[in-house]
Structure 1
Amino acid sequence: MKPASIAHPIIAGIVGSLTGFASSFALLVAGLRAVGASEAEAASGLLVLCVFQGVLAIALSLRYRMPLSFAWSTPGAALLVAAHKTTGDFHAAVGAFLLCGILLLATGLWPWLARTMTRIPRPIASAMLAGILFPICLAPVQAAVQLPLLALPPILVWLVLTRLAPRWAVAAAVVVTAVVVIVSGPHISAPHLLPTLRFVVPAFDPLVLVGLGIPLYVVTMAGQNVPGFAVLRTFGYEHPPARAMLTSAGVATTVGSVFGAYALNLSAITAAMMAGPDAHPDRDRRWIATVTSGIAYLLIGLGAGAATALVSASPPILIEAVAGLALLGALIGAVTAALEDPAHRVVAIATFLVVASGIQLLNIGSAFWGLVVGGIVMVVLTIGRRRESAGASTG
């Protein structure tokens, strides 16, 4: 293989890992802190996720010679931010992470469960995701009003680069935010910059399992794994090793949950950077990109403590603002998918409103109730249409 041909996938892998990390690590840390993690526990979760997704990308890409990449669940991190009303006990949250991992593992082991998950009506799944993302995507507006001197620089950088270099817009906004936070004066002690690993004993609170664990599994499947497979098929990989990928992600999530790793899944957005022709014209060579990305994530994980310390030293609304910028594309995609079918727009809007409201009922969060309400509305409206159709055909 020519050196030039090797360089392309290597560069794509490095860019993919840096973009994936920079665009969402702040949201991840904010989500873990929202459900009760200490700074050290959040750093542990970030470290373990980086290591596991790196190991899985390297091992499976080498085994199958396909560009198979993994990531933490960005929609899941958004759900954690919204779940601060569900629990502030990190032990209970870890129990929900463990449940999510077991469900992901079961999805890989039993094809019928995978088929069931892919049959969740798209308007409901997409509207639930949109409802989770919506409050976070409001944060840039709120931050610009509350902290204009801190929030406006990253927002302006993001806007300019969205026009000139979209791939780097979010990463640049994160860098500018880091500079703004450091210049503004918070002191970050040296011990917090080192990699850290914390074991957390899980607690199994039924309400947290239902209100956080199940929605975390649903948004991870619908928002990450299903699109991840779609990306691979789009670029010509018609038969990816679905069972191996899902079971590996499930095992990694299950094992990593007790260290704060809330959900590991297939990569979607950054996968397109490494599975497409930009990585290499030859599909059989693109696996080099994901192996490189995996190696890069192992190295990036060493900075998990520093990244967590930076987020912890920042005003929460500023971190949510940067996360909101990163999630605007995902929000647009979710809203578009939810409203695509005119026949189910009422279902989608009902689901969206319940989830976005942030209501707490029986101490169970709005994401779960959005699924319930969306399902009820769809059943009622579908039954009505079927009866009308049956009456018209009889007449």
Structure 2
Amino acid sequence: MTPIWRDVSASSLVAGFVAVLVGFTSSAAIVFSAAQALGANPAQTVSWMWALGLGMGLSSLGLSLWYRQPVLTAWSTPGAAVLAVSQGVTLPEATGAFMVCALLIMLAGYSGWFERLMSKIPMALASALLAGVLARFALDAVGAVAHAPVLVIAMTMAYLLGRRWWPRWSVPVVLMVGMGVAAAQGQLHLSSVDGSWGVPVWVSPTWSWAAMVSVALPLFVVTMASQNLPGVAAQRASGYNTPVSPVVGATGLASFLLAPFGGYALNLAAITAAICMGKEAHPDPARRYTASVFAGLLYMALGLAAGTIVSLMAAFPRALVLAVAGLALLGTMTAGLTAAVKDEQHREAAVLTFLVTLSGVTLAGVGSAFWGVVVGGLAQWLWTRRH
């Protein structure tokens, strides 16, 4: 087995950094809102970030090294949105619900039923699902032009020139140009970063049927349907056949152990994982796991220094994050669209999957990724029966 340091490249390190940057800045505010909605005090909120950072870091690092494939985990963003609108649930009751949700994720993973479900989804539909999820970031990057035209246009030009002259380094160049322009415009406030360590705070769980129904079950459903489903699709669409059952089960186990400290739900990443799985991370697919390994190390560092997260993430302008995410994911999105429409037998269903996923519609608290697969799968089934 090749030593890991021989597989590392500058592009994989940058891909890992971009994945962490996008992962934290895109949804950290939702996690903070969820903690506050459940009555967490400032120390407990920092503990949440400590637990989530260490959980994502250790699971990403361990799974990527074990399988030598890019396996990146994330906190459940739609799950945080569910928690943010919870009412009448105390933090100890929510902690008990987190542990029940984690047990359900472990059951779904280790029992193998989730993997059997994923094996029935055609590759065209999985690719369309991934493309639909990533296209939202591309549209957000285009929309950022209205708020920061000079910054986004400069980053876009850097990307175009990079793809022409140094394709392997195009994303690092985009990031450096973006930081340079933001600093020149006075939008990069690194001097305001206030460093402090994260300290775990234990919350003893209590058990409530109301919390099980209003928190545990919705958290489990949205995490599996809106996070783990596109996470597996991202792996399959990128050509990786990482075992689904033990990986999903491991995220449930990590969630269970960290739940009393605020680790409410961990799952497979899709968007940030796609950054580590693309050819921009490394031209050799067998060496792209180093990007998720580095991302895991960064997640751990941010978890240990959880007190600095808010000020650090605030130092980067939102337009910069949107632009670098959209441009970094452009190649992976294109590959997903190509695979989705390549097979004429699945083309129409794949387009429906892409459109429903891209719409961002939420029904019954479940995101568009799940409904995209449902609509596309139903269309494919009807089309097959018709012929």
Q: What is the TM-score with the length of structure 2 in the denominator?
A: 0.70
Partner of 2:22: 27
Q: 2: CA distance between counterparts of 1:241 and 1:371?
A: 21
CA distance in 1, matches of 2:196, 2:127: 38
Change over 3 Å in CA distance of 1:14–1:43 after alignment to 2: farther
Gap change, CA 1:148 and 1:94, over 3 Å in 2: farther
Is there any run of 5+ residues in structure 2 with no aligned partner, and where? 34-44, 88-93, 206-210
Q: Which amino acid aligns with 1:196?
A: G
Between the aligned residues of both structures, percent identity stands at: 28
CA distance in structure 2 between the aligned counterparts of 1:339 and 1:100, rounded to whole angstroms? 36
Answer whether contact 1:250 1:264 (CA < 8 A) is retained: no
For residue 259 of structure 1, what is the aligned residue in structure 2? 263
Counterpart residue number, 2:41: none
1:156 lines up with 2:157 in the alignment: yes
CA deviations on 1:286-340 (whole Å, 9 max, x unpaired) are: 9xx96x9858843673256556634334443432222111211221122112112
Q: 2:50, 2:199 within 8 Å by CA — same for their partners in 1? A: yes
- Partner residue of 1:54 out of 46, 50, 61: 61
Work out the CA distance in 2 between the residues paired with 1:256 and 1:108: 18
TM score, norm. by length of structure 1 = 0.69
The more displaced of 25-34 and 369-378 is 25-34
CA–CA distance in structure 2, aligned partners of residues 98 and 177 of structure 1 = 41
- Is the Cα contact below 8 Å between 1:104 and 1:247 reproduced in 2? yes
- Number of aligned residue pairs: 350
Answer whether contact 1:35 1:88 (CA < 8 A) is retained: no
- Summarize the alignment of residues 1-395 of structure 1 with structure 2, pairs less than 5 Å apart: 9-13=4-8, 15=10, 18-33=13-28, 35-37=30-32, 40=46, 41=48, 45-58=52-65, 60=66, 67-72=68-73, 80=77, 83=78, 87=82, 89=84, 105-106=106-107, 109-111=110-112, 113-183=114-184, 184-185=186-187, 187=189, 192-196=194-198, 204=215, 206-207=217-218, 209-224=220-235, 226=236, 230-231=239-240, 247-252=249-254, 254-255=256-257, 258-259=262-263, 262-264=266-268, 270=276, 294=293, 297-298=296-297, 301-303=300-302, 305=306, 309-385=311-387
With over 3 angstroms needed to count, the CA separation of the structure-2 counterparts of 1:10 and 1:143, relative to structure 1, is same
Note the C-alpha offset of 1:378.
1.7
Q: Work out whether residues 12 and 282 of structure 2, in 8 Å CA contact, stay in contact via their aligned partners in 1.
A: no
Which range moves more in the overlay, 270-279 or 367-376?
A: 270-279
Distance 1:86 1:132, change over 3 A: farther
Aligned-pair RMSD on alpha carbons? Answer: 4.5
Amino acid at match of 2:135: F
How far apart in 2 are the matches of 1:371 and 1:48? 28
Give ranges in structure 1 of 5+ residues lacking alignment.
61-65, 233-239, 280-285, 386-395
Is the partner of 2:72 in helix, strand or coil? strand
Structure 1 CA distance for aligned equivalents of residues 199 and 327 of structure 2: 30
Distance 1:24-1:246 versus aligned 2 partners, 3 A rule? same
| Cα distance in 2, alignment partners of residues 20 and 97 from structure 1 | 31
Structure 2 SS opposite 1:372: helix
Does the CA contact (< 8 Å) of 1:85 and 1:360 recur in 2?
Answer: no
Q: 1:357 to 1:55 in 2, by over 3 A?
A: closer
Cα drift, residue 381 of structure 1: 1.5
Per the alignment, in what secondary structure is the counterpart of residue 259 of structure 1?
Answer: coil
Query: In structure 2, the residue corresponding to 1:129 is in which secondary structure?
Result: helix
Q: Distance in 1 between matches of 2:56 and 2:69?
A: 16
Distance 1:85 1:177, change over 3 A: same
